[in-house]
Amino acid sequence: MPASVSPVNLRRTLALGLAGLAATAALTACGFNYPTDRVNNISAGANYRDGTVDILNAVIVSKEANSGTFIATFVNNDNTDTVTLQSISGDNTEIGHVDLSQPLPVPPNGLVNLANTGGIPVNGTFELGQFVTLTFQFDDGSSVPLDVPVVLDAEQWAGLDVSTPSPSTTDSPSASGSPPTASPSASPTG
């Protein structure tokens, strides 16, 4: 041991060093904005959470290219006023028409889930897997652009595309114009 370092100074330096390491470890474990404190909505749909109305799990459910049904949940964060969705528009490239037949009111501190109300039919030039831009206009003056994915009418979205007939619905032979055939029980008795 060098002559300039006494055993008391060595212990003091070692104790301060260990206290500094312990404080550093404790402070790095503490902090703000933990990933577990943030909203984590694992889904295929798009989300918007920055306005008075949140748009959650927004998708266009589609059975075939160029038509589908817009599905999302609108959540009004205002505790006193109803906020009404006035219109939804596309960018006139992928989305040509959105059939919002009447304004959609979202009650104060409430929600509207379009999966429960039948959704909103859309058409344009889009296909499965594509993201399309929709703009939502609310009566409070806010306008929200959102890139929304086009998903297949299957699994958790099965049956939600009301814009197109199901591929499994085909005309039966009697409905296609061929004459009906007589059954053996309808033959005359002698």
**pLDDT tens per residue, range 154-183:** 988 899 988 865 454 444 444 444 444 443
pLDDT of 30 over the 60 cut: no
Residue type, 171: D
Contacts with 82 (C-beta within 8 Å, 6 or more apart), sequence order: 76, 105, 106, 107, 108
- The Cα 128–Cα 109 span in angstroms is 34
Other CB atoms within a 10 A radius of the CB of residue 29 amount to 7
Q: What is the mean pLDDT of residues 58-73?
A: 93
pLDDT of 116 over the 60 cut: yes
pLDDT of 139 over the 60 cut: yes
Other CB atoms within a 10 A radius of the CB of residue 102 amount to 7
pLDDT of 96 over the 80 cut: no
**pLDDT tier for residue 94 given thresholds of 50, 70 and 90:** low
SS3 17: helix
Q: Is the pTM of this model over 0.85?
A: no
**pLDDT computed for residue 115 by the predictor:** 92
Highest mean pLDDT among 6-10, 30-34, 67-71: 67-71
Residues 138-176 as b or e (16 or more Cβ within 10 Å = b)? beeeeebebebbbbbbeeebeebbbbbeeeeeeeeeeee
Question: Smallest Cα–Cα separation from 150: which of 48, 69, 41?
Answer: 69
Report the DSSP beta bridge partners of residue 186.
Answer: none
